[in-house]
Amino acid sequence: MAEHLLLTFPETRATEPVIYRIVTDFDVIPNIRRAAIENHLGWMVVELDGDPEDIRKAKQYLAGQGIGVERAEGDIVEG
């Protein structure tokens, strides 16, 4: 089951390998749809695929790292 998320990164986390960590620690598969780092702040629209419990744990980890985690609606890449 996949879930589309909007992640927002504070300056202290914009260059951290958090996507690597959720892959290795929580066994989720990310599909980065769009991302940017501007003025030391970052955002990413990502689709996470995997077991719903693993996705829940990955989202909890990201939030615990100070990363904003919100549902992203629609296909942001289209257009």
Angle (CA) 1 8 40, round 5°: 145
**Separation between Cα atoms, residue 8 and residue 76, nearest integer Å:** 15
For 13-68, the pLDDT digits (tens) are 777 888 999 999 999 999 999 999 888 788 999 999 999 999 999 999 999 999 99
pTM for the predicted model, two decimal places: 0.85
Q: What is the pLDDT of residue 79?
A: 36
Tell me if 77 is assigned to some domain: no
Q: What is the pLDDT of residue 13?
A: 77
For 52-65, the pLDDT digits (tens) are 999 999 999 999 99
Tell me if 79 is assigned to some domain: no
Tell me if 76 is assigned to some domain: no
pLDDT greater than 70 at residue 76 = no
The total domain count for the chain is: 1
Query: Which CATH number fits the domain that encloses residue 10?
Result: 3.30.70.260
Tell me if 78 is assigned to some domain: no
DSSP 20-54: HHHHHHH--EEEEEEEEEETTEEEEEEEEES-HHH
Domain boundaries, position 31? 2-71
